[in-house]
Chains A and B, each alone.
Chain A
Amino acid sequence: MIKRIRQIFQGKPAAREDESSRVRKLLVPHAQATDIRFCEPSDLTSEGRFGEEWLAITDTQVLVFTVDGDSTRFVKRLDREAVLSAETIMLTGRGLLEVQTASGGRTNLVTFTNAKNEQFSRACDILKRPKPGARPGEPDTVEKTPDEKEPRICDVCKELIPEGMDTCPHCSHKGRTLLRIIDFTRPCAGYLLLIFFFMILSTGCGLVTPYLSKLFIDYIFKPDAATGAFPYAAWLAPAIVLLFCAYAAQVFLGGVQERFSGKLGYTTVYDVRKAVYGRLQELSLSYFDKHTTGGLLSRVNQDTSDLQYFIVEFFPTTLESLLLLVGVGIFLCILSWQLTAFILLPVLVTVLFGRRIFNRVGVYFHRYFHRRSRLSDFVNDSLSGIRVIKAFGQEKQEVRKFDARSAAYRDAGIDLVRKWSLYHPLLQFFIMAGGVMVWAVGGELVFLKKMTVGSVVAYSGYLAMFYQPVLTLARMVQMVSNSLSAAERVFAVIDATPDVRDAPDAIAMPHITGDVQFRSVTFGYNKFKPVIKDLDLSIARNEKIGLVGRSGAGKSTIINLICRLYDADSGGIFVDGIDIRKINGADVRRQIGVVLQETFLFNGTIYDNIAYAKPQAERDDVIDAAVAANAHEFIVSKPDGYDTEVGERGVRLSGGEKQRIAIARAILRDPAILILDEALSSVDTQTENKIQEALANLTKNRTTIAIAHRLSTLRTYHRLFVIENGRCVESGTHEELMDKKGAFFDLVKMQERLSQISPAEGKSDEHA
């Protein structure tokens, strides 16, 4: 227990900021506080175990130490002067910060997990910078780049909020979430009132019926002690009518209420889903890098339907249970408070027991569903691969694998039923025992003339009604909590803000001329790993530019930046001399046309896919674009012409056909800046010629930026930039670069060697 408490506290170091400044103070005997440029703990020890080792960089020293209470123990001490260079080395799952020292050796300063990458890349940058001294005594905050994201700390629990999350996962605000859900129901606030109204009516009618049975027994069926006649016999007919009406009203009013809650739930969730999807489309690409498609899919589908279930099912049920609980409780006390005091004990035991077994059995249910979904995943997987299975003759093995999973599913089912068949009767037994107790205690009270027989009958009727809301509520606590979590995840998407946003004073630029400049741009998908480093490029209007380099050099990233799918970390991209961040984002994108290597066609007709670039286009324009893209001929030869369905992701078309549709799409858009990202991917030579012709049509009179793997396709381009490791190392025309015998020359030679190995490749090169 103590161990657990300690772990919980270790997981929540109160106020990390304070910890850092406290450690800084501890260092004072060894360094001046103002000299400390960096002071952060790593999360691994030098032996590779979890633990803390601090790294401090001052103007004169580099210190690695452990902190134990108020004392520090130095592990390593280096003179800052002796550090020649520093490097962070990313290994699998963790990183090292290594320095080269004047004595010639390499020293590993600290090791850390991925969680600390960013901090220690900063330390590495500090170590790499020119030695201080010129500016002593400056506050160390200058070491942080201005746009660096501060780690956010939760206001409530002081714990670090994981990156990519907007709210602290440890301190959820269920109340606030509930209020937001109610806020979404506001357009149907009238329904909320109606639901409440009908629920009270229906519950009230339900409550009347056991009391009527008391009236029957105690008055109508009670013979006069002297005469033996039934003095209240005439009341039988109206009482029967009343009973009938109460039952009918309970059932039918319940139906009406259900109808309204359905309407409320579905309408509300429709609005929520719309908000989520709308926000997803607005968010920048970096959001989709951080969140997996599967996760987002479940946000839109699973979580919103959980929310729907909550509003349509849980919310009314909980409300109804509450009403019943209060109503029945009142009746129980009216009938006999003494009996109620007695009966509380078994009720309490039943409720506690019920809660416990729902938790217990919950695990078995979970396991059961998990095994079932694994089995169905397997069947799905192997049936879609049935051709491969048959071709390799692996039927028997597949059956064996199926059998193993099927057996696991069977065992989970047996386990579940065994537990359920033990707990469920026990629960029933407790409930029955309570009922029996009513007759035992109630009977005594009847003999004592404190209760009538009718009251006891009514009482046991009410008691039966009492258990249901109590057990429901006990279970609902968990279920409502789960639903609210789903709601929170949904709201987290709605609340996310796009990283790439238009500046409030963004300029409208309906006509871009196509002049693009990169001014010392640095950018990385992870800030600690820059892909583009201090890049300067200048592209004039109507110029045809080729970007070449090995894969991973940063060519596609340059294009992502021009399209403003991401914003540069430092430096800026200027279009027509204006910072791209200051231009209306929609204006920029409208004037950029993109043809990608992976052509993505949406499910629809060929016409729809070309017109996607410009939905208001006339049919004539679309046909013109298709002709210019050399696509018209093959489209006409299809039986359905432009109305041909391309299938999901365009599966019914060949690679070359898809490519030409994408080019037609770009031509139709008539962009000022055209981007071709490996537009000539693996298509056969004849098709490639057709596409080349199409591209020649397309690149006339616009700034063109092309990435090409086959370097010979770039011969006609005005200038080529050779990108290496995020920097531009060479530029010039194809011929100039070949004469220079530099990096480009090497690339060309390497490709020639490769094409000798695969003759097909060489052939298509000649045609190009």
Chain B
Amino acid sequence: MNMLDASNISIDKPPHGTLSVRINNGQTCQDVAFAQLFPHSDPMRYISIRKKQGADYVEIGIIKDLNALAERSRQLILDDIRRRYFLPLITDINSIRTKSGTDTWVVETDRGTKTFTVRERGENVASTDLGVVMITDTDKCRYKIPDSKTLSVRSQMFLEKVLM
């Protein structure tokens, strides 16, 4: 594991190019991507820097804490992660209609309003003790409720009906 010192890392992106990283004022690495090691439990820390090699990405190192980076670098990384890791966060549930074992959800997310259908909720709606709920719809798209306890009472009522 190559833990990198955040103060020596700078990220750059030319207007029409890909992300590049420069470590310890050394050589610049083109075509890099970023991935969270703990996307749910610790999203701002432990970020893997990955360099493109053929069709795959290979890890160069790990940034322990994003907050230790310069503002611009941090923003570029977060943008890249947001682009790469598409997981709408549900902020409100407008309705859940059930018919023939298929639930049709109408929700507000951080990426806009969405209607989707869920089948076999026993497998596709998973909740943890911490109140995180992960939902997988019939198109295999995933949605996350970061904390079901902070949803509106109405949303919680809808949710209670479909939690198995």
User: In the assembled complex, which residues on chain A have CB atoms less than 8 Å from the CB atom of B123?
Assistant: 292, 294-295
User: Shortest distance in angstroms between A105's beta carbon and chain B's nearest beta carbon?
Assistant: 4
User: Shortest distance in angstroms between B91's beta carbon and chain A's nearest beta carbon?
Assistant: 13
* CB pair A172 B99 closer than 8 Å: yes
- Asked if B20 CB lies within 8 Å of chain A CBs, one says no
* CB pair A366 B161 closer than 8 Å: yes
Bound-complex Cα distance A404 to B131 (A): 13
* CB pair A115 B141 closer than 8 Å: yes
Surface stretch bound by A, among B5-13, B21-29, B67-75, B111-119: B111-119
User: In the assembled complex, which residues on chain A have CB atoms less than 8 Å from the CB atom of B138?
Assistant: 162-165
- Asked if A654 CB lies within 8 Å of chain B CBs, one says no
Which A143-176 residues sit within 8 Å CB-CB of chain B?
Answer: 162-165, 169-170, 172
User: In the assembled complex, which residues on chain B have CB atoms less than 8 Å from the CB atom of A113?
Assistant: 86, 139, 141
- Asked if B53 CB lies within 8 Å of chain A CBs, one says no
Bound-complex Cα distance A404 to B129 (A): 9
Interface of B (DSSP majority class): mixed
Which A32-50 residues sit within 8 Å CB-CB of chain B?
Answer: 44, 48-50
* CB pair B111 A488 closer than 8 Å: no
Residue of B nearest to A725 (CB): B55
Contacts A93-B87, A367-B160; is A7 near B120 (CB within 8 Å)? no
User: In the assembled complex, which residues on chain A have CB atoms less than 8 Å from the CB atom of B115?
Assistant: 7, 10-11
* CB pair B101 A488 closer than 8 Å: yes
Which B95-132 residues sit within 8 Å CB-CB of chain A?
Answer: 95, 99-102, 104, 106, 109, 111-115, 117, 119-120, 122-123, 129
Contacts A162-B139, A298-B122; is A11 near B102 (CB within 8 Å)? no
User: In the assembled complex, which residues on chain A have CB atoms less than 8 Å from the CB atom of B113?
Assistant: 7, 10, 50
Contacts A94-B86, A292-B120; is A485 near B101 (CB within 8 Å)? yes
User: In the assembled complex, which residues on chain B have CB atoms less than 8 Å from the CB atom of A105?
Assistant: 16-17
- Asked if B58 CB lies within 8 Å of chain A CBs, one says no
Which A1-26 residues sit within 8 Å CB-CB of chain B?
Answer: 3-4, 7-8, 10-11
* CB pair B140 A169 closer than 8 Å: no
User: Shortest distance in angstroms between B118's beta carbon and chain A's nearest beta carbon?
Assistant: 10
Contacts A50-B109, A91-B83; is A366 near B114 (CB within 8 Å)? no
* CB pair A4 B94 closer than 8 Å: yes
Bound-complex Cα distance A517 to B142 (A): 41
Bound-complex Cα distance A105 to B14 (A): 11
* CB pair A114 B141 closer than 8 Å: yes
User: In the assembled complex, which residues on chain B have CB atoms less than 8 Å from the CB atom of A48?
Assistant: 82-83, 86, 111
Bound-complex Cα distance A4 to B112 (A): 14
- Asked if A231 CB lies within 8 Å of chain B CBs, one says no
User: Shortest distance in angstroms between B62's beta carbon and chain A's nearest beta carbon?
Assistant: 18
* CB pair A363 B157 closer than 8 Å: yes
Bound-complex Cα distance A92 to B141 (A): 9
User: Shortest distance in angstroms between B122's beta carbon and chain A's nearest beta carbon?
Assistant: 7
Bound-complex Cα distance A170 to B161 (A): 19
Bound-complex Cα distance A8 to B106 (A): 8
Residue of A nearest to B99 (CB): A172
Residue of A nearest to B18 (CB): A106
Most buried by A among B16, B86, B104: B86
* CB pair B112 A114 closer than 8 Å: no
User: In the assembled complex, which residues on chain B have CB atoms less than 8 Å from the CB atom of A292?
Assistant: 120, 123
- Asked if B37 CB lies within 8 Å of chain A CBs, one says no
User: Shortest distance in angstroms between A723's beta carbon and chain B's nearest beta carbon?
Assistant: 16
Residue of A nearest to B103 (CB): A169
- Mask of A398-414 contacts with B, CB within 8 angstroms, 1/0: 00010011000000000
Bound-complex Cα distance A295 to B125 (A): 13
- Asked if B38 CB lies within 8 Å of chain A CBs, one says no
Bound-complex Cα distance A83 to B95 (A): 44
- Asked if A181 CB lies within 8 Å of chain B CBs, one says no
User: Shortest distance in angstroms between A409's beta carbon and chain B's nearest beta carbon?
Assistant: 12
Contacts A93-B142, A172-B99; is A50 near B114 (CB within 8 Å)? yes
Contacts A7-B106, A366-B161; is A50 near B99 (CB within 8 Å)? no
Q: How many residues of B contact A (CB 8 A)?
A: 40
- Mask of A523-536 contacts with B, CB within 8 angstroms, 1/0: 00000000000000
Residue of A nearest to B81 (CB): A92
In this complex, the interface size class of chain A, counting residues with CB under 8 Å from chain B, is 35 or more
Which B130-161 residues sit within 8 Å CB-CB of chain A?
Answer: 138-142, 157, 160-161
Residue of A nearest to B16 (CB): A105
- Asked if B3 CB lies within 8 Å of chain A CBs, one says no
Bound-complex Cα distance A172 to B95 (A): 19
* CB pair A169 B85 closer than 8 Å: no
Bound-complex Cα distance A169 to B102 (A): 6
Which A288-321 residues sit within 8 Å CB-CB of chain B?
Answer: 292, 294-295, 298
User: In the assembled complex, which residues on chain B have CB atoms less than 8 Å from the CB atom of A190?
Assistant: none
- Mask of A373-388 contacts with B, CB within 8 angstroms, 1/0: 1000000000000000
Residue of A nearest to B162 (CB): A366
* CB pair B94 A363 closer than 8 Å: no
- Asked if A355 CB lies within 8 Å of chain B CBs, one says no
Bound-complex Cα distance A405 to B129 (A): 8
* CB pair A486 B101 closer than 8 Å: yes
* CB pair B122 A93 closer than 8 Å: no
User: Shortest distance in angstroms between B124's beta carbon and chain A's nearest beta carbon?
Assistant: 9
- Asked if A489 CB lies within 8 Å of chain B CBs, one says yes
User: In the assembled complex, which residues on chain A have CB atoms less than 8 Å from the CB atom of B18?
Assistant: 106
Contacts A49-B111, A169-B117; is A370 near B84 (CB within 8 Å)? no
Which of B16, B85, B163, B164 touches A92 (beta carbons < 8 Å)?
B85
Most buried by B among A11, A51, A172, A404: A11
User: Shortest distance in angstroms between A659's beta carbon and chain B's nearest beta carbon?
Assistant: 33
User: Shortest distance in angstroms between A90's beta carbon and chain B's nearest beta carbon?
Assistant: 10
Bound-complex Cα distance A115 to B102 (A): 17
Contacts A93-B87, A169-B119, A170-B99; is A363 near B139 (CB within 8 Å)? no
User: In the assembled complex, which residues on chain B have CB atoms less than 8 Å from the CB atom of A172?
Assistant: 99-100
User: In the assembled complex, which residues on chain A have CB atoms less than 8 Å from the CB atom of B85?
Assistant: 91-93
User: Shortest distance in angstroms between A268's beta carbon and chain B's nearest beta carbon?
Assistant: 20
Contacts A113-B86, A486-B101, A488-B100; is A49 near B112 (CB within 8 Å)? yes
Residue of B nearest to A8 (CB): B106
User: Shortest distance in angstroms between A63's beta carbon and chain B's nearest beta carbon?
Assistant: 20
Residue of A nearest to B15 (CB): A105
* CB pair A7 B94 closer than 8 Å: yes
User: In the assembled complex, which residues on chain A have CB atoms less than 8 Å from the CB atom of B106?
Assistant: 4, 7-8, 11
Residue of A nearest to B95 (CB): A4
User: In the assembled complex, which residues on chain B have CB atoms less than 8 Å from the CB atom of A50?
Assistant: 88, 109, 111-114
User: Shortest distance in angstroms between B142's beta carbon and chain A's nearest beta carbon?
Assistant: 6
User: Shortest distance in angstroms between B153's beta carbon and chain A's nearest beta carbon?
Assistant: 12
Chain B residues in the interface with A (C-beta under 8 A): 16-18, 82-88, 94-95, 99-102, 104, 106, 109, 111-115, 117, 119-120, 122-123, 129, 138-142, 157, 160-161, 163-164
Chain A residues in the interface with B (C-beta under 8 A): 3-4, 7-8, 10-11, 44, 48-51, 91-94, 105-106, 113-115, 162-165, 169-170, 172, 292, 294-295, 298, 362-363, 366-367, 370, 373, 401, 404-405, 485-486, 488-489
Ranked nearest first, the 8 interchain pairs of A and B with the lowest CB-CB distance are A93-B86, A169-B102, A115-B139, A50-B112, A11-B115, A94-B86, A162-B138, A105-B16
Q: List 5 A-B contacts (CB under 8 A).
A: A48-B83, A48-B86, A93-B86, A114-B140, A488-B100
Give 19 new A-B contacts, CB below 8 A, not counting A50-B113, A162-B139.
Answer: A7-B113, A44-B111, A48-B82, A48-B111, A91-B85, A92-B84, A105-B17, A106-B16, A113-B86, A163-B138, A163-B139, A164-B138, A165-B138, A292-B120, A370-B163, A370-B164, A373-B164, A485-B99, A489-B100
